[in-house]
Amino acid sequence: MLVGTPAVSGVTYAPAVRPGARPRVAEAADVVPESDRASEQAALLAAATAVADRLRGRAARAGGAAAEVLAANAAMATDRGWLGVAQKLIAAGTPARAAAVAATDQFAEMFTKLGGLMAERVTDLRDVCDRVVAELAGAPEPGIPVPQQPAILLAEDLAPADAAGLDPSVIIGLATSLGGPTSHTAIIARQLGIPCVVAVTGLDAIAAGTPVLLDGSSGRIVSDPDPDLAARAVEQFRARTARDAAWAGPGATADGHRVEVLVNVQDGPSAQAARRTPAEGVGLFRTELCFLDRDTEPTVAEQERIYHEVLDAYTGAKVVIRTLDAGSDKPLRFADHPDEANPALGIRGIRIAARDAGILDRQLDAIARAAVGRAPAPWVMAPMISTAAEAESFAEKARERGLIPGAMIEVPAAALTAEAILRHVDFLSVGTNDLAQYTMAADRMSPALAALTDPWQPAVLALVARTAAAGRRLGKPVGVCGEAAADPALACVLVGLGVGSLSMAAGAVAAVGARLAETTREQCRRAADAALTAADPAAARRAAREVLGSTPGD
Ligand code: PEP
Ligand code: MG
């Protein structure tokens, strides 16, 4: 059994397939006799057209981001500029395959010099060229095979076009030896609903054709498992998914202990879409995500309109709006971030207000205006609070405007002093993504450190427990809004640690709600104790599973 980082949940069992090799083109190619050059040009055009047609066909079957990537690559294959350069080279005697590569090199150099988004297209450009060259050589299409029967794809990592072109009816599972849970491969797999495990060590040892059982929730991959056991695991997961889909809320444990199940949103449309889930409100509205492409600060009126859309989607319900968490992995151009050696440890989140209070003041004004006449008043929380003084100053500004103030607990110092912070605000929300990053001193964006930033780390759970205890002592709510809340087994552990609300991606709501509904509060407590005293994340998962009962997908 191999273990990687879980990226997209689901249990599947099928033979392994591997991407086709990239074609090679001899550097010193022969000169094409003049009489053959016209047919060589025609062959290139035919190959490019065939590749473009195939990519366009896949674009039509795909949706969303995947369709866009594929359509753009199809256009690249028959781009007149690229074909023109290649045809000229053939006219001068270069064979078609070498001409395609040389033309691609020219464009790649140009795109690289242009930098930015253009430079990012170089991988796609080379990928398209490889496909054309393989077509010319009559070789199998490089990149992703299109198997006749459902299969599990094992690869080092996927080119964007390959990931976008996956057909979930035949590629029913994906495992990569590189990548992280936030890599483009994982994001596209999530969009396509393909169970996926990334950063798997030892994946090369599984040969194409070997039957594989892949569990995208636990990150486990078993090669050549007992077929009956594998079929049972898949069936159990199907039954589990059906039970989840039947959960209608509101959130509570099996013995009726209330736990708010909330959703994370990023703008009006995502809040509207989240209404289709049984989530009872919004636990985290990441406002900075609305403004990532802005050069200038949005006006109060503009902000008011956007916040209004989210509040409108959840009329009468709890909505927690997080003030701008700009900086580090989410820089906002208008926030005027200084050049820092360590942006994750720099001026980000609430720290921006210490340099320039205006951005926060104007945002709170906009939220207050959007909330006029609304009951209940929106809850607002500040990201990256490290001290009680920061919480105090934020709370004052929020209360002046009739808003309910809270603090995010994302920094170990804040978890350790949660009680002092909570004296100033009305609630706390634990951001386990950053809390794990800062507790473990491990960049949350680094695939190599994914095991350290695992929210099952007992040290992270201990800080959540301490934060929840502060809430109990002061009689104020404490929730979790990081990715940890989206893991059904971990959600039970968090409830056992004393957390009263869980906010998560819309896609996780049913699974978490259903799981809680079948688990008693006492089981949650025992699972929490077991996880807290475990030596590492894997042991914590195992220990919790023993208490909660094993479900495929844990
Ligand atoms: C977190 O850090 O857990 C969190 C919810 O905030 P973000 O992921 O937006 O940093
Ligand atoms: Mg955070």
The response to whether residue 286 sits with its C-beta less than 6 Å from ligand 1 reads yes
The response to whether residue 479 sits with its C-beta less than 6 Å from ligand 1 reads no
pLDDT digits (tens, 9 = 90+) for 9-41: 899 999 999 987 777 776 666 899 999 999 999
pTM: 0.74
pLDDT band at 148 (very low <50, low <70, confident <90, very high): confident
Give CA–CA dist 60/286, Å, rounded: 32
Cα separations in angstroms, 259 against 240, 437, 484, 520 = 21, 26, 15, 12
Q: 360: closest CA among 388, 326, 331? A: 326
Catalytic site residue from 196, 290, 481, 524: 481
Comparison of pLDDT for 69 and 32, the residue scoring more: 32
Look over the chain and give the mean of its residue pLDDT values, rounded to a whole number.
91
Contacts of 521 (CB under 8 A, 6+ apart): 253, 255, 257, 495, 496
pLDDT number for residue 163:
78
Nearest protein Cα to ligand 1, atom 3: 431
Contact 362, 297 (CB under 8 A): yes
pLDDT number for residue 124:
80
The response to whether residue 410 sits with its C-beta less than 6 Å from ligand 1 reads yes
The response to whether residue 444 sits with its C-beta less than 6 Å from ligand 1 reads no
Cα–chain-centroid distance for residue 247?
24
Give CA–CA dist 281/289, Å, rounded: 19
Ligand 1 centre from 434 Cα, in Å? 6
Ligand 1 centre from 395 Cα, in Å? 20
The response to whether residue 432 sits with its C-beta less than 6 Å from ligand 1 reads yes
Ligand 1 centre from 285 Cα, in Å? 11
Mean pLDDT of 189-207: 88
Nearest protein Cα to ligand 1, atom 9: 286
Ligand 1 centre from 431 Cα, in Å? 5
Q: Is 184 among the residues known to form the active site?
A: yes
Nearest protein Cα to ligand 1, atom 10: 434
Give CA–CA dist 22/301, Å, rounded: 53
Q: Is the pLDDT of residue 282 over 60?
A: yes
pLDDT band at 72 (very low <50, low <70, confident <90, very high): confident
Q: Is 481 among the residues known to form the active site?
A: yes
pLDDT band at 554 (very low <50, low <70, confident <90, very high): low
Mean pLDDT of 497-501: 98
Ligand 1 centre from 75 Cα, in Å? 37
